[in-house]
Amino acid sequence: MSEREDDVVIEPLQHASMLTVDAGFRQTVAPEPHPPGAFEAEDGEQPTMPKPRLRGKRLRSSPTLRSANSTAGLRADGTARREARFRDMDDRAEPARSKEGQVQRRSETQARTRRYVSRITRNTLAVIMAGGRGERLKHLTDFRCKPATPFGGKFRIIDFVLSNCVNSGIRRIQVMTQYKAHSLIQHIQRGWGYLRGEFGEFVEIIPAQQQMGDFWYRGTADSLYQNLQIIKLHNPKHILVLAGDHIYKMDYGVMLASHVAKRADITVGVVEVPREQATAFGVMSVDPDYRITKFSEKPKEPEGIPGREHMALGSMGIYVFKASLLYRLLEEQAKRPGTSHDFGKNIIPGALTSHKVIAYPFTDNETRVQHYWRDVGTVDAFYDANMELVYVNPELNIYDEQWPIWTYQRQYPPAKFVLDEDGRRGMAINSMVSGGCIISGATVNQSLLFSNVRVDERSYIERSVIFPDVVVGAGSVIKRAIVDTGGVVPPGTQIGVNYEEDARRFYMSEQGVALVTRDMLARLQQP
Protein backbone atom coordinates (compact mmCIF):
# COMPACT_ATOMS: atom_id res chain seq x y z
CA MET A 1 0.00 0.00 0.00
CA SER A 2 1.11 3.50 -0.70
CA GLU A 3 1.88 5.85 2.14
CA ARG A 4 -1.01 7.90 3.42
CA GLU A 5 -0.77 11.63 2.69
CA ASP A 6 -1.06 12.55 6.34
CA ASP A 7 -0.43 15.76 8.25
CA VAL A 8 -2.97 17.58 6.09
CA VAL A 9 -5.69 19.35 8.01
CA ILE A 10 -8.52 20.56 5.80
CA GLU A 11 -10.66 23.15 7.50
CA PRO A 12 -14.14 24.38 6.48
CA LEU A 13 -14.05 26.85 3.58
CA GLN A 14 -10.65 25.50 2.67
CA HIS A 15 -11.39 22.04 1.30
CA ALA A 16 -11.02 22.17 -2.44
CA SER A 17 -13.64 19.52 -3.02
CA MET A 18 -16.21 21.68 -1.24
CA LEU A 19 -15.98 24.31 -3.96
CA THR A 20 -18.60 24.71 -6.62
CA VAL A 21 -19.23 27.61 -8.98
CA ASP A 22 -22.16 29.86 -9.49
CA ALA A 23 -23.27 31.18 -12.87
CA GLY A 24 -20.45 33.69 -12.80
CA PHE A 25 -17.85 30.98 -12.14
CA ARG A 26 -17.20 32.25 -8.64
CA GLN A 27 -16.44 29.86 -5.82
CA THR A 28 -19.27 28.97 -3.48
CA VAL A 29 -19.31 26.59 -0.56
CA ALA A 30 -21.09 23.26 -0.87
CA PRO A 31 -21.82 20.73 1.88
CA GLU A 32 -18.74 18.94 3.07
CA PRO A 33 -18.21 15.50 1.50
CA HIS A 34 -16.69 14.27 4.75
CA PRO A 35 -15.83 15.78 8.12
CA PRO A 36 -13.19 18.50 8.37
CA GLY A 37 -9.76 17.01 8.85
CA ALA A 38 -10.39 13.93 6.72
CA PHE A 39 -7.31 12.66 5.03
CA GLU A 40 -7.18 11.74 1.41
CA ALA A 41 -5.04 8.84 0.25
CA GLU A 42 -3.45 8.26 -3.11
CA ASP A 43 -3.52 5.54 -5.72
CA GLY A 44 -7.06 4.37 -5.12
CA GLU A 45 -6.83 3.96 -1.33
CA GLN A 46 -9.83 4.76 0.79
CA PRO A 47 -9.60 8.07 2.58
CA THR A 48 -8.68 7.80 6.24
CA MET A 49 -11.23 9.46 8.47
CA PRO A 50 -10.20 11.19 11.67
CA LYS A 51 -11.72 10.36 14.99
CA PRO A 52 -14.73 12.54 15.75
CA ARG A 53 -14.01 15.65 17.78
CA LEU A 54 -16.11 15.76 20.89
CA ARG A 55 -17.13 19.02 22.49
CA GLY A 56 -14.73 19.97 25.27
CA LYS A 57 -12.44 16.99 24.62
CA ARG A 58 -8.80 17.35 23.76
CA LEU A 59 -7.87 15.04 20.91
CA ARG A 60 -4.67 14.29 19.13
CA SER A 61 -4.33 16.35 16.01
CA SER A 62 -2.07 16.66 13.04
CA PRO A 63 0.00 19.80 13.22
CA THR A 64 -2.14 22.75 12.34
CA LEU A 65 -0.33 24.84 9.84
CA ARG A 66 -0.38 28.55 10.03
CA SER A 67 -1.66 30.92 7.38
CA ALA A 68 0.77 32.49 5.00
CA ASN A 69 -0.30 35.82 6.37
CA SER A 70 -1.09 35.01 10.00
CA THR A 71 0.96 35.91 13.05
CA ALA A 72 2.66 32.53 13.01
CA GLY A 73 5.74 31.69 11.00
CA LEU A 74 7.76 28.74 9.85
CA ARG A 75 10.78 27.30 11.55
CA ALA A 76 14.13 27.51 9.81
CA ASP A 77 13.80 23.90 8.72
CA GLY A 78 10.55 24.74 6.87
CA THR A 79 8.24 22.64 8.98
CA ALA A 80 5.28 24.20 10.71
CA ARG A 81 5.10 24.80 14.44
CA ARG A 82 2.70 22.55 16.26
CA GLU A 83 -0.10 24.45 17.90
CA ALA A 84 -0.83 23.93 21.59
CA ARG A 85 -4.37 25.20 21.18
CA PHE A 86 -7.40 22.95 20.81
CA ARG A 87 -10.80 24.38 20.02
CA ASP A 88 -14.33 23.26 20.69
CA MET A 89 -16.40 22.53 17.64
CA ASP A 90 -18.33 25.72 18.28
CA ASP A 91 -15.14 27.71 18.07
CA ARG A 92 -14.61 26.63 14.47
CA ALA A 93 -17.50 28.78 13.31
CA GLU A 94 -16.46 32.39 12.83
CA PRO A 95 -18.89 35.27 13.31
CA ALA A 96 -20.44 36.80 10.21
CA ARG A 97 -18.52 39.71 8.81
CA SER A 98 -19.67 42.66 6.81
CA LYS A 99 -18.56 43.18 3.26
CA GLU A 100 -16.54 46.17 4.42
CA GLY A 101 -14.82 44.02 7.02
CA GLN A 102 -13.96 41.44 4.40
CA VAL A 103 -12.42 44.05 2.14
CA GLN A 104 -10.40 45.47 5.03
CA ARG A 105 -9.19 42.03 5.99
CA ARG A 106 -8.32 41.32 2.38
CA SER A 107 -6.08 44.38 2.33
CA GLU A 108 -4.25 43.13 5.39
CA THR A 109 -3.91 39.44 4.53
CA GLN A 110 -3.69 37.60 1.26
CA ALA A 111 -5.62 34.49 2.23
CA ARG A 112 -6.98 32.64 5.24
CA THR A 113 -5.88 29.24 4.03
CA ARG A 114 -3.59 27.25 6.26
CA ARG A 115 -0.09 26.21 5.29
CA TYR A 116 0.09 22.64 4.14
CA VAL A 117 3.49 21.21 4.97
CA SER A 118 3.07 17.47 4.88
CA ARG A 119 4.01 14.34 3.01
CA ILE A 120 2.31 15.90 0.01
CA THR A 121 4.75 18.80 -0.11
CA ARG A 122 7.70 16.70 0.99
CA ASN A 123 7.02 14.21 -1.80
CA THR A 124 6.73 16.97 -4.40
CA LEU A 125 9.44 18.09 -6.81
CA ALA A 126 9.07 21.65 -8.12
CA VAL A 127 10.33 22.24 -11.65
CA ILE A 128 10.66 25.92 -12.59
CA MET A 129 10.69 26.84 -16.28
CA ALA A 130 13.23 29.66 -16.46
CA GLY A 131 14.67 29.42 -19.93
CA GLY A 132 12.54 31.96 -21.77
CA ARG A 133 13.83 35.17 -23.25
CA GLY A 134 10.77 37.31 -22.75
CA GLU A 135 10.94 39.06 -26.12
CA ARG A 136 8.17 41.51 -25.22
CA LEU A 137 10.44 43.04 -22.56
CA LYS A 138 12.57 44.27 -25.45
CA HIS A 139 16.02 45.52 -24.42
CA LEU A 140 15.61 44.41 -20.79
CA THR A 141 16.34 40.86 -21.92
CA ASP A 142 19.18 41.59 -24.34
CA PHE A 143 21.72 40.30 -21.82
CA ARG A 144 19.60 38.31 -19.36
CA CYS A 145 16.63 35.95 -19.40
CA LYS A 146 13.27 37.22 -18.21
CA PRO A 147 13.30 35.45 -14.78
CA ALA A 148 16.61 37.18 -13.98
CA THR A 149 15.22 40.68 -14.61
CA PRO A 150 15.37 42.96 -11.54
CA PHE A 151 12.02 43.80 -9.93
CA GLY A 152 10.68 45.72 -6.97
CA GLY A 153 13.77 47.69 -6.02
CA LYS A 154 15.66 44.67 -4.65
CA PHE A 155 14.57 41.36 -6.14
CA ARG A 156 14.72 39.32 -9.35
CA ILE A 157 11.51 38.04 -10.91
CA ILE A 158 12.43 34.42 -10.17
CA ASP A 159 12.73 35.21 -6.44
CA PHE A 160 8.94 35.19 -6.14
CA VAL A 161 8.38 31.64 -7.37
CA LEU A 162 11.42 30.37 -5.44
CA SER A 163 10.16 32.06 -2.27
CA ASN A 164 6.71 30.55 -2.83
CA CYS A 165 8.29 27.10 -2.95
CA VAL A 166 10.33 27.55 0.23
CA ASN A 167 7.49 29.22 2.13
CA SER A 168 5.16 26.40 1.05
CA GLY A 169 7.49 23.75 2.44
CA ILE A 170 8.66 22.57 -0.99
CA ARG A 171 12.44 22.40 -0.80
CA ARG A 172 13.27 20.11 -3.69
CA ILE A 173 13.49 22.47 -6.64
CA GLN A 174 14.89 22.21 -10.16
CA VAL A 175 15.39 25.28 -12.35
CA MET A 176 15.40 24.68 -16.11
CA THR A 177 17.58 27.25 -17.89
CA GLN A 178 18.41 28.01 -21.50
CA TYR A 179 18.45 31.58 -22.88
CA LYS A 180 21.36 33.77 -21.59
CA ALA A 181 21.30 32.08 -18.20
CA HIS A 182 24.55 33.41 -16.69
CA SER A 183 22.91 36.20 -14.68
CA LEU A 184 20.19 33.83 -13.45
CA ILE A 185 22.62 31.07 -12.47
CA GLN A 186 24.88 33.53 -10.67
CA HIS A 187 21.93 34.96 -8.72
CA ILE A 188 20.65 31.52 -7.66
CA GLN A 189 24.11 30.35 -6.62
CA ARG A 190 24.65 33.43 -4.47
CA GLY A 191 21.19 33.78 -2.98
CA TRP A 192 19.72 30.29 -2.82
CA GLY A 193 22.62 28.12 -1.70
CA TYR A 194 21.46 27.80 1.91
CA LEU A 195 19.33 24.68 1.42
CA ARG A 196 20.97 21.57 2.86
CA GLY A 197 21.43 18.60 0.58
CA GLU A 198 21.86 16.18 3.47
CA PHE A 199 18.29 17.03 4.50
CA GLY A 200 16.97 16.38 1.02
CA GLU A 201 16.76 20.11 0.24
CA PHE A 202 18.15 21.65 -2.93
CA VAL A 203 17.82 24.20 -5.69
CA GLU A 204 19.21 22.30 -8.64
CA ILE A 205 20.16 24.34 -11.71
CA ILE A 206 19.64 22.31 -14.89
CA PRO A 207 21.59 23.76 -17.85
CA ALA A 208 20.28 23.49 -21.38
CA GLN A 209 21.17 20.06 -22.73
CA GLN A 210 20.96 17.94 -25.85
CA GLN A 211 20.02 14.67 -24.24
CA MET A 212 17.81 13.37 -27.04
CA GLY A 213 19.66 14.43 -30.15
CA ASP A 214 21.39 17.31 -31.88
CA PHE A 215 18.84 19.92 -30.81
CA TRP A 216 18.06 22.17 -27.85
CA TYR A 217 14.74 22.33 -26.04
CA ARG A 218 11.90 22.46 -28.54
CA GLY A 219 9.21 23.51 -26.04
CA THR A 220 8.32 23.62 -22.38
CA ALA A 221 7.41 19.94 -22.23
CA ASP A 222 10.56 18.97 -24.11
CA SER A 223 12.74 20.65 -21.48
CA LEU A 224 11.35 18.20 -18.91
CA TYR A 225 11.47 15.26 -21.28
CA GLN A 226 15.15 15.77 -22.06
CA ASN A 227 15.87 15.80 -18.32
CA LEU A 228 13.50 12.99 -17.39
CA GLN A 229 16.22 10.75 -15.98
CA ILE A 230 17.44 13.56 -13.72
CA ILE A 231 13.88 14.17 -12.50
CA LYS A 232 13.31 10.47 -11.80
CA LEU A 233 16.42 10.32 -9.61
CA HIS A 234 14.48 12.22 -6.91
CA ASN A 235 11.55 9.76 -6.99
CA PRO A 236 8.76 12.34 -6.45
CA LYS A 237 5.07 11.38 -6.14
CA HIS A 238 3.95 14.75 -7.45
CA ILE A 239 5.60 17.18 -9.83
CA LEU A 240 4.77 20.86 -9.62
CA VAL A 241 5.58 22.63 -12.88
CA LEU A 242 5.99 26.39 -12.46
CA ALA A 243 6.61 29.37 -14.70
CA GLY A 244 9.54 31.40 -13.44
CA ASP A 245 8.46 34.78 -14.79
CA HIS A 246 5.37 35.91 -12.84
CA ILE A 247 4.93 38.09 -9.75
CA TYR A 248 2.69 36.65 -7.01
CA LYS A 249 2.59 35.01 -3.57
CA MET A 250 1.00 31.58 -3.40
CA ASP A 251 0.92 28.66 -0.98
CA TYR A 252 1.45 25.71 -3.32
CA GLY A 253 0.67 23.34 -0.45
CA VAL A 254 -3.00 24.29 -0.62
CA MET A 255 -3.09 23.60 -4.35
CA LEU A 256 -1.39 20.24 -3.81
CA ALA A 257 -3.90 19.36 -1.08
CA SER A 258 -6.72 20.23 -3.48
CA HIS A 259 -5.12 18.05 -6.15
CA VAL A 260 -5.03 15.04 -3.82
CA ALA A 261 -8.47 15.68 -2.30
CA LYS A 262 -10.14 15.82 -5.71
CA ARG A 263 -8.18 12.78 -6.93
CA ALA A 264 -7.09 14.78 -9.94
CA ASP A 265 -4.60 13.53 -12.50
CA ILE A 266 -3.60 17.09 -13.41
CA THR A 267 -4.41 20.38 -11.70
CA VAL A 268 -3.99 23.72 -13.49
CA GLY A 269 -3.74 27.05 -11.65
CA VAL A 270 -6.09 29.63 -13.19
CA VAL A 271 -6.87 33.34 -12.91
CA GLU A 272 -9.54 35.50 -14.46
CA VAL A 273 -8.23 37.88 -17.12
CA PRO A 274 -9.96 40.40 -19.40
CA ARG A 275 -10.84 38.76 -22.71
CA GLU A 276 -8.85 41.30 -24.72
CA GLN A 277 -5.73 40.24 -22.80
CA ALA A 278 -6.47 36.52 -22.85
CA THR A 279 -4.84 36.05 -26.27
CA ALA A 280 -1.51 35.85 -24.40
CA PHE A 281 -2.71 33.01 -22.14
CA GLY A 282 -3.86 29.44 -22.24
CA VAL A 283 -7.65 29.82 -22.04
CA MET A 284 -9.99 27.13 -20.77
CA SER A 285 -13.62 26.22 -20.25
CA VAL A 286 -14.75 24.32 -17.15
CA ASP A 287 -17.84 22.49 -15.92
CA PRO A 288 -19.55 23.32 -12.58
CA ASP A 289 -17.03 21.09 -10.76
CA TYR A 290 -14.16 23.00 -12.34
CA ARG A 291 -13.14 20.06 -14.49
CA ILE A 292 -11.52 21.47 -17.61
CA THR A 293 -13.49 20.66 -20.76
CA LYS A 294 -11.53 22.72 -23.27
CA PHE A 295 -8.05 24.27 -23.32
CA SER A 296 -6.70 26.58 -26.04
CA GLU A 297 -3.20 28.04 -25.96
CA LYS A 298 -3.17 31.76 -26.88
CA PRO A 299 -6.38 31.71 -28.93
CA LYS A 300 -7.17 34.55 -31.31
CA GLU A 301 -10.80 34.56 -30.08
CA PRO A 302 -10.78 33.60 -26.38
CA GLU A 303 -13.96 32.17 -24.89
CA GLY A 304 -15.52 34.20 -22.12
CA ILE A 305 -16.81 32.94 -18.78
CA PRO A 306 -20.56 32.17 -18.99
CA GLY A 307 -22.46 35.10 -17.55
CA ARG A 308 -19.28 37.22 -17.52
CA GLU A 309 -18.30 37.26 -21.16
CA HIS A 310 -15.83 40.11 -20.75
CA MET A 311 -13.58 37.83 -18.67
CA ALA A 312 -11.79 34.58 -19.47
CA LEU A 313 -10.16 31.82 -17.42
CA GLY A 314 -6.42 31.99 -18.09
CA SER A 315 -3.69 29.55 -17.15
CA MET A 316 -1.09 30.70 -14.62
CA GLY A 317 1.48 28.31 -16.08
CA ILE A 318 1.23 26.22 -12.89
CA TYR A 319 0.56 22.48 -13.20
CA VAL A 320 0.42 19.65 -10.67
CA PHE A 321 0.93 16.15 -12.07
CA LYS A 322 1.03 12.71 -10.66
CA ALA A 323 4.65 11.94 -11.41
CA SER A 324 3.99 8.58 -13.09
CA LEU A 325 1.40 10.18 -15.35
CA LEU A 326 3.70 13.03 -16.35
CA TYR A 327 6.44 10.59 -17.31
CA ARG A 328 4.04 8.70 -19.57
CA LEU A 329 2.60 11.83 -21.17
CA LEU A 330 6.05 13.23 -21.91
CA GLU A 331 7.22 9.98 -23.47
CA GLU A 332 4.08 9.70 -25.61
CA GLN A 333 4.34 13.32 -26.71
CA ALA A 334 7.97 12.94 -27.77
CA LYS A 335 7.02 10.17 -30.22
CA ARG A 336 4.30 12.16 -31.98
CA PRO A 337 5.31 13.86 -35.26
CA GLY A 338 4.59 17.53 -35.78
CA THR A 339 4.07 18.32 -32.09
CA SER A 340 5.12 21.60 -30.46
CA HIS A 341 6.34 19.75 -27.35
CA ASP A 342 4.50 22.29 -25.19
CA PHE A 343 2.37 21.94 -22.07
CA GLY A 344 -0.23 24.47 -23.14
CA LYS A 345 -0.43 23.41 -26.78
CA ASN A 346 -0.09 19.64 -26.45
CA ILE A 347 0.10 18.03 -22.99
CA ILE A 348 -2.89 19.66 -21.28
CA PRO A 349 -5.32 19.65 -24.27
CA GLY A 350 -4.38 16.05 -25.08
CA ALA A 351 -5.11 14.85 -21.56
CA LEU A 352 -8.64 16.27 -21.26
CA THR A 353 -10.55 13.31 -22.70
CA SER A 354 -8.68 10.52 -20.94
CA HIS A 355 -7.71 12.06 -17.58
CA LYS A 356 -9.21 14.14 -14.82
CA VAL A 357 -7.86 17.66 -15.32
CA ILE A 358 -9.02 20.18 -12.73
CA ALA A 359 -8.77 23.98 -12.68
CA TYR A 360 -7.62 25.53 -9.40
CA PRO A 361 -8.78 29.17 -9.08
CA PHE A 362 -6.29 31.46 -7.36
CA THR A 363 -8.94 33.18 -5.26
CA ASP A 364 -9.79 33.69 -1.61
CA ASN A 365 -12.39 31.16 -0.50
CA GLU A 366 -14.05 33.62 1.86
CA THR A 367 -13.97 36.94 0.04
CA ARG A 368 -13.99 35.40 -3.48
CA VAL A 369 -11.43 38.02 -4.42
CA GLN A 370 -8.70 36.99 -6.82
CA HIS A 371 -5.24 37.10 -5.31
CA TYR A 372 -2.49 39.31 -6.69
CA TRP A 373 -0.88 37.85 -9.81
CA ARG A 374 0.95 39.74 -12.53
CA ASP A 375 2.30 38.67 -15.88
CA VAL A 376 5.05 41.26 -16.34
CA GLY A 377 5.70 40.17 -19.90
CA THR A 378 5.62 43.59 -21.57
CA VAL A 379 7.51 46.80 -20.84
CA ASP A 380 4.29 48.54 -19.77
CA ALA A 381 3.15 45.65 -17.55
CA PHE A 382 6.59 45.50 -15.97
CA TYR A 383 6.61 49.25 -15.36
CA ASP A 384 3.08 49.31 -13.92
CA ALA A 385 3.78 46.41 -11.53
CA ASN A 386 6.84 48.22 -10.19
CA MET A 387 5.00 51.53 -9.85
CA GLU A 388 2.23 49.87 -7.84
CA LEU A 389 4.75 49.14 -5.09
CA VAL A 390 5.23 52.82 -4.20
CA TYR A 391 1.54 53.27 -3.44
CA VAL A 392 0.62 53.81 0.20
CA ASN A 393 -1.12 50.41 0.37
CA PRO A 394 -0.02 48.33 -2.63
CA GLU A 395 -1.90 45.13 -3.37
CA LEU A 396 1.36 43.17 -3.31
CA ASN A 397 2.70 43.26 0.24
CA ILE A 398 6.45 42.70 0.07
CA TYR A 399 6.76 43.66 3.74
CA ASP A 400 4.87 40.54 4.87
CA GLU A 401 7.04 38.89 7.52
CA GLN A 402 4.99 35.71 7.35
CA TRP A 403 5.57 35.26 3.62
CA PRO A 404 8.95 36.85 2.93
CA ILE A 405 10.44 37.22 -0.52
CA TRP A 406 13.98 35.92 -0.31
CA THR A 407 16.76 37.17 -2.55
CA TYR A 408 20.45 37.91 -2.83
CA GLN A 409 21.67 41.46 -2.55
CA ARG A 410 25.18 42.75 -2.24
CA GLN A 411 26.04 44.24 1.13
CA TYR A 412 25.84 48.01 0.94
CA PRO A 413 25.57 50.71 3.57
CA PRO A 414 22.14 52.33 4.09
CA ALA A 415 20.85 54.81 1.55
CA LYS A 416 22.06 58.36 2.18
CA PHE A 417 20.38 61.71 1.47
CA VAL A 418 22.65 64.75 1.66
CA LEU A 419 22.51 68.55 1.21
CA ASP A 420 19.70 70.75 2.46
CA GLU A 421 19.46 73.93 0.40
CA ASP A 422 16.85 75.38 -1.88
CA GLY A 423 17.24 73.57 -5.18
CA ARG A 424 19.88 71.22 -3.69
CA ARG A 425 17.93 69.15 -1.13
CA GLY A 426 18.49 65.41 -1.05
CA MET A 427 15.15 63.72 -0.52
CA ALA A 428 12.80 60.97 -1.65
CA ILE A 429 8.99 61.19 -1.60
CA ASN A 430 6.65 58.19 -1.96
CA SER A 431 9.59 56.15 -3.17
CA MET A 432 11.60 53.00 -2.46
CA VAL A 433 15.37 53.47 -2.20
CA SER A 434 17.70 50.50 -1.71
CA GLY A 435 21.00 50.25 0.11
CA GLY A 436 24.09 51.91 -1.29
CA CYS A 437 22.16 54.76 -2.94
CA ILE A 438 23.34 58.35 -2.50
CA ILE A 439 20.85 61.11 -3.25
CA SER A 440 23.04 64.22 -3.27
CA GLY A 441 21.01 67.41 -3.42
CA ALA A 442 18.46 65.77 -5.73
CA THR A 443 14.77 64.87 -5.53
CA VAL A 444 13.29 61.41 -6.08
CA ASN A 445 9.49 61.27 -6.36
CA GLN A 446 7.29 58.16 -6.79
CA SER A 447 10.18 56.03 -8.01
CA LEU A 448 12.08 52.83 -7.27
CA LEU A 449 15.86 52.93 -6.96
CA PHE A 450 17.71 49.64 -6.84
CA SER A 451 21.02 49.30 -5.01
CA ASN A 452 24.07 51.52 -5.51
CA VAL A 453 22.40 54.30 -7.50
CA ARG A 454 24.00 57.75 -7.43
CA VAL A 455 21.86 60.83 -8.16
CA ASP A 456 23.81 64.10 -8.35
CA GLU A 457 22.68 67.56 -7.33
CA ARG A 458 19.76 69.44 -8.87
CA SER A 459 18.50 66.29 -10.59
CA TYR A 460 14.86 65.24 -10.51
CA ILE A 461 13.51 61.69 -10.89
CA GLU A 462 9.77 61.06 -11.11
CA ARG A 463 7.75 57.86 -11.61
CA SER A 464 10.78 55.91 -12.80
CA VAL A 465 12.49 52.58 -12.18
CA ILE A 466 16.26 52.88 -11.83
CA PHE A 467 18.19 49.60 -11.92
CA PRO A 468 21.39 48.95 -9.92
CA ASP A 469 24.66 50.84 -10.42
CA VAL A 470 23.15 53.72 -12.39
CA VAL A 471 24.72 57.20 -12.16
CA VAL A 472 22.49 60.21 -12.83
CA GLY A 473 24.52 63.28 -13.67
CA ALA A 474 23.86 66.70 -12.16
CA GLY A 475 20.89 68.69 -13.43
CA SER A 476 19.20 65.73 -15.15
CA VAL A 477 15.46 65.12 -15.38
CA ILE A 478 14.04 61.59 -15.66
CA LYS A 479 10.28 60.98 -15.86
CA ARG A 480 8.34 57.80 -16.67
CA ALA A 481 11.41 55.79 -17.55
CA ILE A 482 13.18 52.51 -16.87
CA VAL A 483 16.97 52.89 -16.76
CA ASP A 484 18.80 49.56 -17.05
CA THR A 485 21.76 48.41 -14.96
CA GLY A 486 25.00 50.34 -15.10
CA GLY A 487 23.74 53.25 -17.18
CA VAL A 488 25.50 56.63 -16.88
CA VAL A 489 23.12 59.53 -17.52
CA PRO A 490 25.16 62.53 -18.73
CA PRO A 491 24.70 65.78 -16.76
CA GLY A 492 21.75 67.84 -17.93
CA THR A 493 20.04 64.95 -19.76
CA GLN A 494 16.26 65.11 -20.07
CA ILE A 495 14.25 61.90 -20.37
CA GLY A 496 10.46 61.87 -20.44
CA VAL A 497 10.15 65.57 -21.29
CA ASN A 498 10.11 65.53 -25.12
CA TYR A 499 8.51 62.40 -26.59
CA GLU A 500 9.79 62.90 -30.14
CA GLU A 501 13.35 63.36 -28.97
CA ASP A 502 13.12 60.35 -26.65
CA ALA A 503 11.79 58.20 -29.49
CA ARG A 504 14.94 58.92 -31.51
CA ARG A 505 17.26 57.99 -28.63
CA PHE A 506 15.46 55.29 -26.61
CA TYR A 507 12.82 52.58 -26.87
CA MET A 508 9.32 53.95 -26.20
CA SER A 509 6.54 51.65 -25.03
CA GLU A 510 2.93 51.82 -26.16
CA GLN A 511 2.08 53.84 -23.04
CA GLY A 512 5.01 56.23 -23.51
CA VAL A 513 7.46 54.74 -21.00
CA ALA A 514 11.08 55.28 -22.02
CA LEU A 515 13.30 52.18 -21.77
CA VAL A 516 16.91 53.34 -21.48
CA THR A 517 19.92 51.02 -21.62
CA ARG A 518 23.59 51.57 -20.93
CA ASP A 519 24.45 51.42 -24.65
CA MET A 520 21.78 54.01 -25.49
CA LEU A 521 23.21 56.39 -22.89
CA ALA A 522 26.75 55.81 -24.12
CA ARG A 523 25.71 56.91 -27.62
CA LEU A 524 24.49 60.22 -26.20
CA GLN A 525 28.07 61.10 -25.31
CA GLN A 526 29.50 60.25 -28.72
CA PRO A 527 30.39 63.23 -30.93
For the cut 80, the answer to whether the pLDDT of residue 104 exceeds it is no
Report the pLDDT averaged over residues 469-476.
98
Same structural domain, 180 and 313: yes
Q: Please tell me the distance from the alpha carbon of residue 38 to that of residue 48, in angstroms, as a whole number.
A: 6
- Whether 363 and 433 share a structural domain: no
Least confident of 199-213, 228-242, 271-285: 199-213
* Same-domain check for residues 169 and 238: yes
- Which CATH number does the domain housing residue 187 bear? 3.90.550.10
Strand 432-433 and strand 448-449: the pairing is parallel
- Give pLDDT tens digits for 19-52: 333 434 443 333 333 333 333 444 443 334 333 3
The predicted structure's pLDDT at residue 213: 64
Q: Do residue 256 and residue 358 come from a single domain? A: yes
Residue 180 sits in the same domain as residue 282 = yes
| Phi-psi map region of 349: left, alpha, beta (phi>0 left; psi -120 to 50 alpha) | alpha
Residue 223 lies in a domain: yes
* CATH assignment of the domain containing 443: 2.160.10.10
362/368 Cα distance (integer angstroms) = 9
Same domain flag for 421 and 283: no
On whether both 368 and 515 belong to a single domain, the answer is no
**146 and 240 co-located in one domain:** yes
CA atoms of 313 and 305, how far apart (whole Å): 7
Domain that holds residue 329: 119-388
Q: What's the chain's average pLDDT? A: 81
* 44 inside domain: no
- Can you list the positions of beta strands (E) in 275-415? 282-286, 292-297, 311-322, 357-361, 373-375
In a domain, 43, yes or no: no
Given a cut of 90, whether residue 220 has pLDDT beyond it is: no
Mean pLDDT to the nearest integer, 150-170? 96
Q: Is residue 222 part of a domain?
A: yes
- pLDDT bucket at 346, cuts 50 / 70 / 90: very high
pLDDT tens figures, 402-419: 999 999 989 999 999 999
Q: How many angstroms separate the Cα of 142 from the Cα of each of 146, 151, 179, 518?
A: 10, 16, 10, 11
Task: Confirm whether 105 is domain-assigned.
Answer: no
Residues 482 and 333 in one domain: no
Q: Considering the chain, what percentage of its residues have pLDDT values greater than 90?
A: 66
The answer to whether residues 273 and 331 belong to one domain is yes
Q: Is the pLDDT of residue 440 over 90?
A: yes
| Total domains present in the chain | 2
Distance separating alpha carbons of residues 268 and 240, to the nearest angstrom: 10
For the cut 60, the answer to whether the pLDDT of residue 273 exceeds it is: yes
Kindly report the pTM of this predicted structure. Answer: 0.79
| Spatial separation of the C-alpha atoms in residues 444 and 460, rounded to whole Å | 6
C-alpha to C-alpha distance for 296 and 302, rounded to whole angstroms: 8
Instruction: Look at residue 307 and tell me if it is in a domain.
Output: yes
SS3 417: strand
Same domain? For 328 and 430 the reply is: no
241 and 277 inside one domain? yes
| pLDDT value of residue 449 | 98
